[in-house]
Structure 1
Amino acid sequence: MRSSSLSGSRRCLNSIFNSLPLKTLILSTALIPFYSINASKTNQYNAVVNSSKLTVVAVANPSIVFKDGQYKHGFAYDLVNDYAQNLNVKLDFKTVPDNATALKMVAQGQANFAITTATMQTVEAKQLTSFSATCGDFTSLKKNGLNTELNWVFKHADDPLTATASGFVCQSKQNGTIQQLASFYNRNVVKKDDWNIIQRDLSNRMPIYQASFKKTAQQYNLDWHFLAAMGYQESYLKPDSVSPTGVRGIMMLTNQTAKAMGVSNRTDPAQSIQGGAKYFDMMLSRYSHIPNPDRHWFALVAYNMGPGAVDGVQKRIKAQGKDPNNWINFYEYLTRNQAQNGRYKQAIHYVTRIRAYLEHIKSDPKLLEI
């Protein structure tokens, strides 16, 4: 009887938010905090607001989250992080090895909700309720190689937190955030057949420059695997690389940037890595007002096409009435205008491939042993 009731509640919740126009959706979710004041003190929404913390547990899955050193990023992680910011609370994000553990933590009140790949039947058998993590936008997930079974799981269907979360996800679908996030976290950004060559290159070349990457990364409090991923995208880790525009070395520095960073010989691996890390650290500092992981993506674009170009894009985004410091807004602008501006297309290619290389390095035990 409980399972049937939950199924009806879930379908009702999804159908309501799927059918609402955006304006109505915003207004309806905006009223929920007012409702929650008069609701039970034990409901999840009140608990989150009163503690200023949203606790979310998730299954370790490439479509959900990837931990890059002390930072996290990923399709589902970024979306729930945006939701926490929407509630003006801090996100406490935890990963577990399987769906059963995640569902148990929600049922026992150890998490406000979970992000899982569990089926509806499994969720309802635990007397919980769930809805699609994309408000039904399975196409965006499928074409980008992401898991289409992602869902957000809550303890009660009638809790205000469940309603605001469902409203937020469907709003994200309508305003294009779901589509852009899926595009940025595309699992197919590197062709499957290319990974064998990449693996060979990294296995043969990373050990040669490991000491320089580690020493320099420690100096600037960076992850040396992140620097190595940048170096591979720049030059395939070949110190004698030269581009048609004259940039050269492992980190492909321009002559002007090299001089500014104190590099006298761009083809010297240690100097190139030092100069590239120093410049990237400067870009991170330039965008220190932007929270991670977005800060890293902005810094990478600035490294690739210059901070002045990034400033120009941000000004145009701001003129459109959008937040210029939001990565998805920035990424969406580059994507929409890449046909007219080759630099935008190059920047998208640059950032998405470095992300893919980093995840590959971090996920391969053999490369981590280097």
Structure 2
Amino acid sequence: MHSSSISGVRLGLNSLTFSLSLKILAFGTLLVPFHSINASKSSQYDSVVSDKQLTVVSVENSTTVFKDGAHLHGFGYDLARNYANSLNVKLVFKTVADNATALKWVSQGKANFAMTTANVGTIEQNKLTSFSATCGDISSLQTNGLNTNLNWVFKHADDPLTQTASGFICQGKNSGAIRQLASFYNQNVVKEESWNTIQRDLNQRMPIYKASFQKTAEKYDLDWHLLAAIGYQESYLKPNSISPTGVRGLMMLTNNTAKAMGVSNRNDPVQSIQGGAKYYDLMLSRYQHIPFPDRNWYALVAYNMGPGAVNQIQKRIKAQGKNPNNWVNFYAYLDRNKASNGRYRQAVQYVTRIRSYLEHIKTTPQLVNI
């Protein structure tokens, strides 16, 4: 659907048969009700609601989704997850090799909608309809190194599922939630010129510690790539690292944390990896009420700042009338206050860099296959 035709899925729709009032839980704002949206007898919306399942298909890339062990994360994935949450249904997210396959799935009814970067002409040739995944706010993607051509593609423009999705996206744009989500998934958080050094470090050091990361990750049911990303952020995978505040080792543990985790020698890389993984797993358990992938981000901030600091921030967010267990809200609080609080600035850098390193490690064949 061209931008000029997006209005066809907004308010003021005719052929009225039912009333839908949708509260956007993920973004913490109330969407203007879609009163009496046209609902055909066999609409996608009816199927999604009755099956309590929304199936989305996409090509795996830096703008849509990354596979993080048993979990997924990414700008596009989180956006689709938030829409599914707003409908109170389960998200089933599928990845395919190319945009052509994704469009075919929508045409054949294998997916409720596709998230693609295919051009509008190709979409229309397949007799499908689409709209911008940011309601036309491409600057929020462009400034964060994300693909500005990201669209949501549906089979029918007049289906209530298409209409509520369009409203959801535009409400997210108006509230600033989409811009905040794009900021967290900033692909420019690590400068381009730094990647050569990072790649060299990983090529040299990852083979030495990969077995320890894998063995320890298996023990705690973690993704070893994530442990390696934490290790690189903490010490560049240097086991003799030490900070001015006294934290040391490959996973940069404090003396108290090391003792609590059963680590007798913080400079021993195997012990450090085991201690860091145990502590990270402990942080994950504190946020078990928060779904993945958000639980990972909360646990990482707690690993960096301490769970007490996370708890205080959550209380402030709650006092503002927002959901403290929603990552967009938590990240927005850190990002908004980082200029006046060095710990918040460090936490933002910490979690976004680890996310970036994780994505790099998982998508670089020579690292995965070392």
TM-score, with structure 2 as normaliser: 0.93
RMSD: 1.9
Aligned to 1:233: 233
The residue number in structure 2 matching 1:165 is 165
CA-to-aligned-CA distance 1:219-239 (integer Å, 9 cap, x gap): 101111110110000000111
Question: Is 1:72 the equivalent of 2:54?
Answer: no
Rounded to whole Å, the distance in 2 between the matches of 1:163 and 1:42 is 15
Q: How far has the Cα of 1:118 moved from its partner?
A: 1.2
Tell me, yes or no, if the aligned pair for 2:10 and 2:166 is still in contact at 8 Å.
no
Pair 369,263 (structure 1): closer, same or farther in 2 beyond 3 Å: same
Q: How does 1:138-177 map to 2 (within 5 A)?
A: 138-177=138-177
**Alignment partner, residue 111 of structure 1:** 111
The offset of 1:53, in angstroms, is 0.2
CA distance in 2, matches of 1:14, 1:220: 47
Q: CA deviation at 1:176?
A: 1.1
> 1:53 is matched by which residue type in structure 2?
Q
Q: Secondary structure at the match of 2:45?
A: helix
SS at the partner of 2:31?
Answer: helix
The CA distance in 1 between the partners of 2:221 and 2:30, in whole Å, is: 43
The match for 1:216 is 216
Task: Note if contact 1:144-1:187 (Cα within 8 Å) is conserved in structure 2.
Answer: yes
- Whether 1:278 and 2:278 are equivalent positions in the alignment is yes
Equivalent position to 1:12, from 7, 10, 29: 7
- Once the two structures are superposed, residues 271-305 of structure 1 have per-residue CA deviations (whole angstroms, 9 ceiling, x without a partner) of 11111000000000110100000000000000000
Letter in 1 for 2:307: P
Distance 1:111 1:12 in 2: 24
TM superposition shift of 1:61: 1.9
CA distances 1:85-109 after superposition (whole Å, capped 9, x unpaired): 0000000100111111111111111
Letter in 1 for 2:107: A
Q: Which residue of 2 aligns with 1:252?
A: 252
C-alpha distance in 2 between matches for 1:306 and 1:195:
29
The one-letter code sitting in structure 1 at the alignment partner of 2:32 is L
Please, which runs of 5 or more residues in structure 1 have no aligned partner? 1-5
Tell me, yes or no, if structure 1 residue 352 matches structure 2 residue 361. Answer: no
- Residue 7 of structure 2 aligns with an amino acid whose one-letter code is C
Deviation at 1:27, TM superposition (A): 2.6
Query: 1:129 offset after TM fit, Å?
Result: 0.6
Kindly provide the amino acid, as one letter, of the partner of residue 204 in structure 2: N
Partner of 1:81: 81
Task: Give, in angstroms, the shift of residue 369 of structure 1.
Answer: 1.0
Matches within 5 A, 1:126-141: 126-141=126-141
Q: 1:89/1:216 Cα in 2 relative to 1: closer, same or farther (>3 Å)?
A: same
Q: C-alpha displacement at 1:14, in angstroms?
A: 6.5
Give the corresponding residue for 2:97: 97
Q: Which residue of 1 aligns with 2:33?
A: 28
| CA distances 1:338-365 after superposition (whole Å, capped 9, x unpaired) | 1111000000000010111111111111
What is the distance in 1 between the residues matched to 2:126 and 2:225? 41
Corresponding residue SS for 1:94: strand
Percent sequence identity over matched residues?
69
Aligned amino acid, residue 28 of structure 1:
P
Give CA deviations for 1:197-250 in whole Å, capped at 9, x if unaligned: 100101111111122111111110111111011000000011110001110000
Deviation at 1:336, TM superposition (A): 0.5
1:290 maps to which residue? Answer: 290
SS in 2 for 1:340: coil
- 2:115 alignment partner, SS class: strand
Select the structure that is richer in helix. 1
1-side partners of 2:3 and 2:349: how far apart? 44
Letter in 1 for 2:137: D
Question: Does the 8 A contact of 2:317 with 2:329 survive in 1?
Answer: yes
AA partner of residue 340 (structure 2): Q
Q: Deviations along 1:137-179, whole A, 9 cap, x unmatched?
A: 1001001100000000011111100110000001111111111
1:312-323 mapped onto 2 (5 Å cutoff): 312-323=312-323
| Structure-2 separation of matches of 1:139 and 1:16 | 25
1:285-332 alpha-carbon deviations (Å, 9 max, x no partner): 110100000000000000000000000000000001100000010000
